[in-house]
Chain A
Amino acid sequence: MHKDAKGNAPERGGSFAHVAEASWGKGVSTLIRIMRMTLRHPWQVTITIVSTFIAATLQLFIPRLLGRAIDQAQGVMAAGGGAVAEQALWTTALTLLVVSILRGLFTMAQNYYGEAVGHHTGYELRLAFYEKIQRLSFSFHDKVHTGDLITLGLLDLDGVRMFFATGVLRVVLLSVLIGVGAYLLISTDLVLGLLSLSFVPFVAWRSSVTQLRLRSTWLTLQERLSVLSRVMDENLGGIRVVRAFAAQRHELAKFDRAKRSALELANERVDIRVANTSAMNFSFLAAMGLVLWFGGQKVIAGEISVGTLAQFLTFMTILQMPVRQLGLMVNSFARASTCGTRLFELLDTELDIEDAPDAKDLVVNDGVLRFDDVGFRYDGAGGRPALSGISFEAKPGETIGIVGPPGSGKSTIAHLIPRFYDATSGAITIDGQDISKVTLRSLRKAVGIVQQDAFLFTTSIENNIAYGNPWARETRIERAAEYAQLHNYIIGLPTGYTTIVGERGASLSGGQRQRLTIARSLMLRPSVLIFDDSTAAVDAGTEQRIRAAMKRFARDRVTLIISHRLSSLMHADQILFIESGRIVERGTHEELLALGGRYHALHDLQLRPEDERAAAQGAA
């Protein structure tokens, strides 16, 4: 189990890889924790386990009854006449019928409740997982791949959910069948009993080893198949590039390489699987042959009856299936302990950004935003500071422009205000209240941020705009769209506001997506509104109209505009030029131009074409 876990480690990257190094102890404590979760449904667990006991015990009666019937038919037990013997047969037959029906009913109960426990546990885990994901901070999500999180929430969660039915219950079932069965058989006849059980250790060992091998190759196969699907997915998504470079042959070669490596392993897995099933089958039949031979000798010697021999043989057929599944049981333990360890690791991750113990709701009166010597570095102490000594104040109605080269820390400033990250030094206040001491909910309702990469949800335009306030009335949604200069476009669509957008919806241009996110942020009526490079894809003319439309809206709130386009923030009351995480220049547009520094240089760089244009026009 341990070795297997280690072997899998390289398959899964991300920050959870180290968990695969988990020790035996960790694996065991994970399994205990899963059992504790399972025990939250005590009634269902009890019913399942009791039913399993009863069903397995009843099943053990069937060979005995069959053996007895065979002896009765031969008149072995009948001291009296035929009528008595026939009556005995009737009794056995009816008992057998009742036992069969009861066994069926209890097996049904065992299977159903076993599954139900798993599904209920799965339900609870899914909710807990979802909630945790939704609350973990940006720095967590920066570090962990979305693909890994999805695997964790689907496959690993399944591994944990199935543990009870495929692991625990099988242990109970097999212990009863083998334990009680062995006792019954051996007490009947020592040699035959041992012979009929002789295939058990071999099959158990074989199937466990095979399952563990299949499990580890399965992970490799998944890896190879995912390479194959990436080749296909990229090819189809980038088909124009492929065609543009006439690279079909190159792509097919790439496909063939990926295909071959997956196919080889798939065939290898067929070999592993088949070698195992046929060997298990053979060992079972060989044991049966031994029982037949030695049992036959004993029958001939008069030591046992034909019925007893038949009892041994039928018992073996009953035992065959569960014993073959022993490998699956071992696999279930291995899977639950690695999956569970990964899953619990996530569920136990501490939230690095959450409400302070005595947090109060943010009360916004004026809405003055203040940065007081704010510093920040990603990931605690390591690395150079991303921001240092940032101080400014913005009063309602004011606009602050933030500009600077890529990677200078502009967006980081924006991300500190709604506490996507916590400042490492200094303080950010709104109306004098430190944002780290107010509730997150009230803070984020008060701070609207329009992000650069607009994530749209696959639902109607209307629902997307109302995302932050899904109770909103149509009129308000439309007004927000009007502000963002999107209303006219929307009502021109055949299905208007109910048009589905997002990943699988109608395609919007980059500019339209950004305008939709602007409308979305306006819906919350935030007292601090931040545009984080969110008009990059919106043309200058439209941007100007958005600004004009929002004049009234912006009158009593603070607006922060982060942009690399000077025309977007020239009008700001104060412009901060950021470089390497520091404010290097500040002032109004005119002041900064007069300063003749970096801002001026950037201004020249951006406006040169305009001059050329003027020159061209002059020439014409």
Chain B
Amino acid sequence: MSTTNDDEDEDTSGRPTKAVVGSHRDEEEVFGKVYDPRIVRRIWSFVAPYRARIFLSVAAVLVFTLTQLAIPLVIRYAIDHGMAPGRIDRSIMAWTTAIFAAIILVNYGASYVQESVVGKVAENVLSDLRRAMFSHLQRVSLSFMDKTEVGRLMSRLQGDVNSMQEFLETSVMSVGDIVLLFGIVTVLLWLDFRLGLLTLSTMPALFVVRLFWLPRAKVAFMAAHETNSIANGALAEGIHGVRTVQSLERQHVNFDLYDEKVLANLRAHLRSARYAQVMVPIVDTLTGIAMATVIVVGGSMVLSHRLDVGVMVAFLFYIQRFFDPIRSLTMQYSVMQRAMASGQRISEVLDVPIEVNDREGAVALSSDTDGSVEFRNVTFGYRQNLPVLKNVSFRVNPGETVALVGPTGSGKSSSMALVHRFYDVWSGQVLVGGHDVRDLTQDSLGEQVAMVLQEPFLFSGTVLENIRYHKTGASREEVVRAAQAVGAHDFIMELPDGYGTELEQRGGNLSLGQRQLISFARALVADAKILVLDEATASIDSYTEMLIQKALIKLLEGRTGLVIAHRLATIRGADRIIVLQNGEIVESGNHAQLMQRKGLYARLYNMNYSSFDDIAADEIEKDAAVGKAT
């Protein structure tokens, strides 16, 4: 085949220069300050309701730790006063055994209470925190939601909340660890001050070693974690994009790139394993040194009768548990840091101000409102000094359908959002049924203003549940009637379980047109006085398109309609057309009137585009210039 390409084929033997697999999101700050009083107070407000239970579990931890500490002492007593050569006393043996039995019963109870209470409180706090955040997000301004990726919020709601749970559990445990640590030190010094001091001298060594080890090990652990999520991201991409990969024959390139990432992950894991394991011989050596000390020094003291043999046994017991609290305390240090960073992020979410709120004394919009919509000198924008709507005024009379038309960024969607009071205006007023929307309760406004969005968003659940999303009390008959009215009934009946068919995530098992029709039925069931509709831009096959146009007429029957129109058919069918450009109304009137004016609308219309949104900005500028010239 002769190619018309003038450039030569590239050398494909080397490493591809324009290829990556998987993307990597910058990890969020994992470790924060160890202690931040503001965050601790904030989190404490969630723990406070469980205060009594927390105290109970701390008490249980203390009791548990004390019984742990007591066991070697009982053994020591039994040996020295009951069985050691020359001091045999059967009654003491019986007594100490009885005490031992009592202690382990208490130990059993305390261990049960401590873990059970703490575990459940942590689960409950986690759940409360998550709910508080979730319910707060239901009320924060949409400008925040627009700016924030859903994925980020989800990681707050899941990852961060989980690390708070971990923190709660470990912080109660660390109380136990601290008590155990000090308890062992105290008991050893009390049993024999000099031997105790000598034995304990190995302890600082571990502290010093951990101090050097921890920052380096943490880097290695983080690297393992991060390379892991990179490799997993690449795998997920490979699975999601497999059809594209195959159709473009990228398997070989991708395999090599994936191999690199997995290999990097393997290396990072091995490195972090080395860091984790290097502590093992160090701790064992220190334990060995401590035990050897007790044997040599303690042993010779026993030999010369300066020390009871039971004390020596107790020492050996304590040494075996000696390093556990140090190890877990240093680990908890990282948990603390992680929790502070998470707490910081959780507070950030909880602190997002709620900008749109029901005013005190707000009234409910009654259901017999006339359904008029009016904009009075509305100026509004998302960023300071960048108004999206500039001094816009118009009125939609009850029952009238008005089409908003204009290029992307002209302020159509913003107008629509203001009717529903997603945002508050900078100046001017938006009136619904003659009331300023700020004087109405949001719930009642929502009941009278139904919205249909460009991307018909469906929830997982059955078709039935989706159609009566707004009115959960709607009967099946109502739902079927609505579906029939918009022409969705037939295809719904063809689904495997009819109205009971479970929709996949976001209605993935339906076509765009079908989803659109279901969202129409949903709006119809809501039966609001005012319908605000953003038409879908993507073209749908002609059959569905026809259904949608018919459904639209049905939907607008007897309602006030504000439609962001993209399709010529819809635009022509409107009672009135408002043409927006750069946040200002440039023309208004019906189709015939506007065509006659030969203004921007007529020119856009004659450009023969199926949708006004597709027109490139430069063409509009050009056109506007021409318009001014004529």
Pairwise interchain contact B284-A289, C-beta atoms closer than 8 A: no
Contact of A540 among B259, B309, B609 (CB under 8 A): B609
Residue in chain B with minimal CB distance to A259: B127
Pairwise interchain contact B244-A134, C-beta atoms closer than 8 A: no
> Interface-forming stretch among B107-115, B178-186, B479-487?
B107-115
A residues within 8 A CB of B83?
296, 299-300, 306, 309
Pairwise interchain contact A130-B138, C-beta atoms closer than 8 A: no
Q: Which 3 A-B pairs have the closest CB atoms?
A: A246-B446, A100-B288, A104-B284
Pairwise interchain contact A524-B248, C-beta atoms closer than 8 A: yes
Q: How far is the CA of A616 from the CA of B1 in the complex (A)?
A: 50
Tell me which residues from 373 to 428 in chain B have a Cβ below 8 Å from any Cβ of chain A.
420, 422
User: Does chain B have a CB within 8 A of A487?
Assistant: no
B residues within 8 A CB of A101?
281, 284-285, 288
Q: A100-B287, A154-B232, A236-B153 are in contact. Are A289 and B101 (CB under 8 A)?
A: yes
User: Does chain A have a CB within 8 A of B247?
Assistant: yes
Tell me which residues from 196 to 223 in chain B have a Cβ below 8 Å from any Cβ of chain A.
none
A516 to nearest B CB, angstroms?
A: 12
Q: A130-B258, A536-B538 are in contact. Are A449 and B18 (CB under 8 A)?
A: no
> Interface-forming stretch among B38-46, B329-337, B449-457, B550-558?
B449-457
Q: How far is the CA of A542 from the CA of B611 in the complex (A)?
A: 11
Extra contacts besides A73-B298, A116-B273, A537-B539 (6): CB < 8 Å = A85-B303, A119-B269, A127-B259, A134-B254, A243-B142, A606-B542
User: Does chain B have a CB within 8 A of A457?
Assistant: yes
User: Does chain A have a CB within 8 A of B29?
Assistant: no
Tell me which residues from 413 to 469 in chain B have a Cβ below 8 Å from any Cβ of chain A.
420, 422, 442-443, 445-447, 449-451, 453, 457, 459-460, 469
Pairwise interchain contact B244-A237, C-beta atoms closer than 8 A: no
User: Does chain B have a CB within 8 A of A297?
Assistant: yes
Residue in chain B with minimal CB distance to A126: B262
Tell me which residues from 307 to 328 in chain A have a Cβ below 8 Å from any Cβ of chain B.
309-310, 313-314, 317
A residues within 8 A CB of B568?
609, 613
A-B contact pairs, 29 of them (CB 8 A): A69-B299, A70-B309, A70-B316, A73-B312, A89-B295, A100-B284, A101-B288, A116-B270, A119-B270, A130-B262, A135-B251, A136-B242, A237-B457, A238-B457, A259-B131, A281-B107, A282-B107, A293-B93, A300-B88, A366-B1, A467-B250, A470-B17, A524-B249, A525-B3, A525-B5, A536-B538, A605-B542, A617-B595, A619-B592
Q: A133-B242, A240-B453, A278-B115 are in contact. Are A234 and B18 (CB under 8 A)?
A: no
Q: A457-B237, A616-B572 are in contact. Are A241 and B457 (CB under 8 A)?
A: yes
Pairwise interchain contact A141-B243, C-beta atoms closer than 8 A: yes
Pairwise interchain contact A470-B542, C-beta atoms closer than 8 A: no
Q: A100-B284, A455-B244, A476-B7 are in contact. Are A277 and B115 (CB under 8 A)?
A: yes
Q: How far is the CA of A489 from the CA of B615 in the complex (A)?
A: 12
B15 to nearest A CB, angstroms?
A: 9
Q: How far is the CA of A351 from the CA of B396 in the complex (A)?
A: 62
Contact of B266 among A120, A281, A310, A467 (CB under 8 A): A120
Tell me which residues from 560 to 614 in chain B have a Cβ below 8 Å from any Cβ of chain A.
568-569, 572, 591-592, 595-596, 607-611, 613-614
User: Does chain B have a CB within 8 A of A286?
Assistant: yes
Contact of B303 among A86, A246, A468 (CB under 8 A): A86
A residues within 8 A CB of B4?
552-553, 555-556
User: Does chain A have a CB within 8 A of B225?
Assistant: no
User: Does chain A have a CB within 8 A of B119?
Assistant: yes
A residues within 8 A CB of B420?
243-244
Q: How far is the CA of A139 from the CA of B248 in the complex (A)?
A: 18
Residue in chain B with minimal CB distance to A248: B138
B residues within 8 A CB of A120?
266
A332 to nearest B CB, angstroms?
A: 18
Contact of A420 among B107, B142, B247, B249 (CB under 8 A): B247
B residues within 8 A CB of A496?
none
**Considering residues A111, A241, A565, which has the most beta carbons from chain B within 10 angstroms of its beta carbon?**
A241
User: Does chain B have a CB within 8 A of A156?
Assistant: no
A residues within 8 A CB of B470?
245-247
> Interface-forming stretch among B19-27, B187-195, B339-347?
B19-27
Pairwise interchain contact A270-B123, C-beta atoms closer than 8 A: yes
User: Does chain A have a CB within 8 A of B135?
Assistant: yes
Pairwise interchain contact A282-B104, C-beta atoms closer than 8 A: yes
Tell me which residues from 129 to 155 in chain A have a Cβ below 8 Å from any Cβ of chain B.
129-131, 133-136, 138, 141, 146, 149-150, 153-154
Pairwise interchain contact B607-A541, C-beta atoms closer than 8 A: yes
Q: How far is the CA of A73 from the CA of B270 in the complex (A)?
A: 45
Q: A93-B295, A468-B250, A472-B18 are in contact. Are A73 and B302 (CB under 8 A)?
A: yes
B168 to nearest A CB, angstroms?
A: 13
User: Does chain B have a CB within 8 A of A66?
Assistant: yes
> Interface-forming stretch among A1-9, A177-185, A210-218, A249-257?
A249-257
A454 to nearest B CB, angstroms?
A: 8
User: Does chain B have a CB within 8 A of A176?
Assistant: no
A residues within 8 A CB of B273?
111-112, 115-116, 119
Residue in chain A with minimal CB distance to B100: A289
Q: How far is the CA of A596 from the CA of B400 in the complex (A)?
A: 40
> Interface-forming stretch among A20-28, A225-233, A386-394, A576-584?
A225-233
B residues within 8 A CB of A462?
18
Contact of A245 among B231, B284, B296, B451 (CB under 8 A): B451
User: Does chain B have a CB within 8 A of A48?
Assistant: no
A residues within 8 A CB of B3?
525, 556
User: Does chain A have a CB within 8 A of B368?
Assistant: no
User: Does chain B have a CB within 8 A of A426?
Assistant: no
B residues within 8 A CB of A617?
595
Q: How far is the CA of A93 from the CA of B292 in the complex (A)?
A: 4
B520 to nearest A CB, angstroms?
A: 13
Pairwise interchain contact A108-B277, C-beta atoms closer than 8 A: yes
Q: How far is the CA of A469 from the CA of B296 in the complex (A)?
A: 74
User: Does chain B have a CB within 8 A of A510?
Assistant: yes
Q: How far is the CA of A111 from the CA of B273 in the complex (A)?
A: 8
Residue in chain A with minimal CB distance to B514: A406
Tell me which residues from 9 to 62 in chain A have a Cβ below 8 Å from any Cβ of chain B.
none
Contact of B107 among A239, A285, A367, A459 (CB under 8 A): A285
User: 1/0 per position for A451-476, CB-CB distance to B under 8 A?
Assistant: 10001011100110011111111011
Q: How far is the CA of A589 from the CA of B500 in the complex (A)?
A: 43
Tell me which residues from 65 to 120 in chain B have a Cβ below 8 Å from any Cβ of chain A.
71, 75, 78-79, 82-85, 88, 90, 93, 96-97, 100-101, 104, 107-108, 111-112, 115-116, 119-120
Q: A104-B282, A127-B259 are in contact. Are A504 and B609 (CB under 8 A)?
A: no
User: Does chain B have a CB within 8 A of A620?
Assistant: yes
Pairwise interchain contact A286-B11, C-beta atoms closer than 8 A: no
Contact of B93 among A112, A150, A300, A473 (CB under 8 A): A300
A residues within 8 A CB of B253?
470
User: Does chain B have a CB within 8 A of A427?
Assistant: no
Q: How far is the CA of A278 from the CA of B442 in the complex (A)?
A: 53
Residue in chain B with minimal CB distance to A145: B504
User: Does chain A have a CB within 8 A of B361?
Assistant: no
Pairwise interchain contact B112-A278, C-beta atoms closer than 8 A: yes
B370 to nearest A CB, angstroms?
A: 20
User: Does chain A have a CB within 8 A of B472?
Assistant: yes
B residues within 8 A CB of A509?
537, 613
Q: How far is the CA of A120 from the CA of B100 in the complex (A)?
A: 49
Q: How far is the CA of A131 from the CA of B251 in the complex (A)?
A: 8
Pairwise interchain contact B309-A74, C-beta atoms closer than 8 A: yes
Q: How far is the CA of A218 from the CA of B249 in the complex (A)?
A: 40
User: 1/0 per position for A537-578, CB-CB distance to B under 8 A?
Assistant: 111111000000000110111000000110000000000000
